[in-house]
Chain A
Amino acid sequence: MGEAEQDRIETQEYLVNMGPQHPSTHGVLRLLLKLEGEIVHHVDPHIGYIHSGIEKMCESLTYPQIPYLTDRMDYLSAHMNEEAVCLCIENALGVEVPDRVKYIRTIFSELQRLASHQLWWCVMGMDLGALTTFFYGLRDREKILDIFEETCGARLTLHYSIPGGLMFDIHPNFRNRVHEFLNYFREKLPEYDQLLTGNVIFQERTRGIGIFPREAVINYGVTGPSGRASGFSCDVRKHHPYSAYPFVSFQEALDDRCDTLARYKVRIREMWESMSIIEQLIDNIPEGDYQVKLKGVVKLPEGEYFQRVESARGDFGVFIISDGKKSPYRLKFRSPGFSNLSALHAMSKGWKIADLVAIMSSLDLVIPDIDR
């Protein structure tokens, strides 16, 4: 090509749709990208493709019926969502649940966090072109789902926490199974590092990519592992302990490198922490009732109630306005995925499309959580 000819080629920004059925958007998320060549200039997330109106539906359900619906928002942290709603209702009623319930809820939350991070790890590898990780992660996740299935009869939409306690007592086999799993997974987690973390291609594609400083994280309200990877100490378990978290000691996984690799490493460290939390609790589950009997018709006193928990993706909040009837006047969920997605534009501006996939993967988005 001659020089004169080269001058005649004009570059221009163009718009490309990524999604709603793109494999790396993990669900029905549509990103409108403004590109120049391969450089991303603008990301415009279009959400609402699987909006299911859960908040509105809650207004016509009674309080005991609400937790089962929250399973269907962020299905990978189903138990944490239920727990948030149950804690909120219990606080409003002034009910104190037995310690046994608190311990079991916390163990379940941590198992759920492990399962969620395992799936995230599978998918992160897959997005970056390593299909192998998918099978290794799912192999280990299966063990946790079996634990869930044995105790509460479901694998994904658990519906195990109910206002006032738990649906069932733990299965007699529960302790053994959890111990078995911990021993098993402690051997398998280093495999994750060997397979993916150390891999040169993976490192090249994540190190220094999508740097998002601490101020920006706070401004955008990014929470959870994605926020902690930028040095923002935002762990609800540490700062506003609930259930059995006051009884355990654990480290908040923090990192100040702010890039995609940091977000990856924080999650891997959280898996180790989750295992240590479970280990501290599993042998000390106190005896007692697994639920307190509430009245047949649960009515919250008039007022506003808020409860937050740390879900696998960040700070999950439930806000209930009650007018004293048997269903809420208004119910609002603060879902971590929504705020994390809002930062995607700022995070991926100026990077290549391939980096956008890595950055999005490191945010660990679950679309029903965003659309709800």
Chain B
Amino acid sequence: MRAIWKYLSDVLKGIWTLIQGMRVTGHYFFRPWLIVTQQYPENRRKLVMFERFRGEVTMPHNENNEHKCTGCGICEISCPNGSIEIITATVLLPDGKKKRIIDKHIYHLGMCSLCNLCVKNCPSDAIVMAQTFEHAVWDRTQLTKVLNRPGSKIMEGIKE
């Protein structure tokens, strides 16, 4: 008799715990507005990332096609993955002095781990993180980018 009673109460208790769980799922089943689902990629246009989101390294240029990079190479040294290559050129200034300028700031997005060390260590704040996040391309050579735009030059007043 005891055993039967225990068996029955176990079954009832088991069912009761299942109902407890179903109360939670039922609660959301009848309140679909509480469920959070993002319809990606349909919501692409409205999808805004946080302003600090680290998507890729970029070099902002102003309207005169000028950037702030001096070609010092600190970002290249601080990168743990070797994702940045700095190629500099030497120009002759009107007063006869030689000056080192940036020729190509090459950035390999495919090798970048988005650690932010280059951006943090750049002494002239020439590079920033962009909020892009869709990086798929057809060919991996497209992941190698030259950050300074063709024909661009350094802004006035940036000192090394």
Contacts and interface: CB of A to CB of B under 8 A. Distances in A.
Given A150-B52, A154-B54, A194 B23 contact: yes
Contact of A199 (B17, B78, B114, B117): B17
B134 to A, nearest CB: 16
A196 B13 CA distance: 15
A198 B21 contact: yes
Given A153-B50, A194-B20, A139 B113 contact: no
Contacts of A199: 17-18, 20-21
A65 B77 CA distance: 10
Contact of B113 (A68, A153, A203): A68
A191 B54 contact: no
B115 A159 contact: yes
B20 A198 contact: yes
A69 B52 CA distance: 20
Contacts of B129: 153
Contacts of B116: 153, 159, 167
B110 interface: no
A69 B81 CA distance: 10
Contacts of A194: 20-21, 23-24
A292 interface: no
B78 A65 contact: yes
A61 interface: yes
Report which residue of B24, B36, B78 has the largest number of chain A beta carbons within 10 angstroms of its beta carbon. B24
Contacts of B23: 194
Interface of B: 13-14, 17-18, 20-21, 23-25, 36, 49-50, 52-54, 78, 80, 113-117, 120, 129
Given A139-B36, A171-B50, 17 more contacts: A61-B80, A136-B24, A146-B50, A149-B49, A151-B52, A152-B52, A153-B116, A154-B114, A159-B115, A167-B116, A198-B17, A198-B21, A199-B18, A199-B20, A199-B21, A200-B14, A200-B17
23 contacts: A64-B78, A68-B80, A68-B113, A136-B24, A139-B36, A146-B50, A149-B49, A152-B52, A153-B52, A153-B54, A154-B53, A154-B54, A159-B116, A168-B52, A171-B50, A171-B52, A194-B20, A194-B23, A198-B17, A198-B20, A198-B21, A200-B17, A201-B14
